[in-house]
Structure 1
């Protein structure tokens, strides 16, 4: 009968299944250490690949400037004619279409009838003008024609010289005199008093 080697004392006291578990754990741990050592050796031994260094780009040198000579482009000869600014004429505007004219107001407005009788100076209220002393000394004479506008009450509204005598003093004396006159107002066809106007000649003569 074969002799079984004696186990260590602490293993003899353990049950049989715990002996198997301990042996399996020890074998697994040894296997892990062996694998780790092999992997580490492979990592250290593997050379790190070197990245190739890119060669510097080659640049062509710039061409040297050409000497001034026959090869250079000649400049155009200067012109004796002075530069002129050419302005394009603006296009002529299109003729605007005439707008339709509104109906004439004069055609629709009632016609104003001219006075049938013009105003007349009242003899007792229309004195003759005073002969200016300076014009009398110089012997100035002449005829002044004034245009008088008379309102419906027979009062002169405006007096304007339309023909001069040649003497300023005679013209002024005629205007001042007629401005103080009173008139019979103008009359229309129905006999009603209306505004009107008349021309009054004033003669300045030396007797």
Structure 2
């Protein structure tokens, strides 16, 4: 008979941290139109140190959502680790501000 209790994930002893990032480009047509604001992205850092399950929580424009998602796919992380040094999946949430310069 299978154990109905779900397996517990070990608690991380270190959080995920960014190792390598690329700043999302501001699409020139949106800057020219004055479209600005903050894109909030929620995602997981997998045990291999890559962003996955990227979700856009809020965004002023779909094109800004696309550039943030594409940028996050290129980021590299030190994953969260358990007491044995094993990489763990962890959740992150980051804002990306797009400001029209004068």
Structure 1's consecutive aligned runs of 4 or more residues displaced over 4 angstroms after TM superposition are none
Structure with greater strand share of residues: 2
For residues 163-187 of structure 1, the C-alpha deviation after alignment (integer angstroms, 9 at most, x for no partner) is 22x2111111111111111111111
SS at 1:206 equivalent: coil
In the aligned structure 1, how far is the partner of 2:53 from the partner of 2:74? Answer: 11
Q: Equivalent residue for 1:131?
A: 26
In the aligned structure 1, how far is the partner of 2:14 from the partner of 2:36? Answer: 32
Higher relative contact order (CA closer than 8 Å, sequence separation 6+): 2
CA deviation after TM superposition for structure 1 residue 114, in Å: 3.2
Structure with greater helix share of residues: 1
Count of aligned positions: 100
1:197 equivalent to 2:91? Answer yes
CA deviation after TM superposition for structure 1 residue 152, in Å: 1.1
Aligned match for 1:178, one of 66, 72, 77: 72
Q: Equivalent residue for 1:147?
A: 42
When the two chains are superposed, the root-mean-square deviation of aligned CA atoms in Å is 2.0
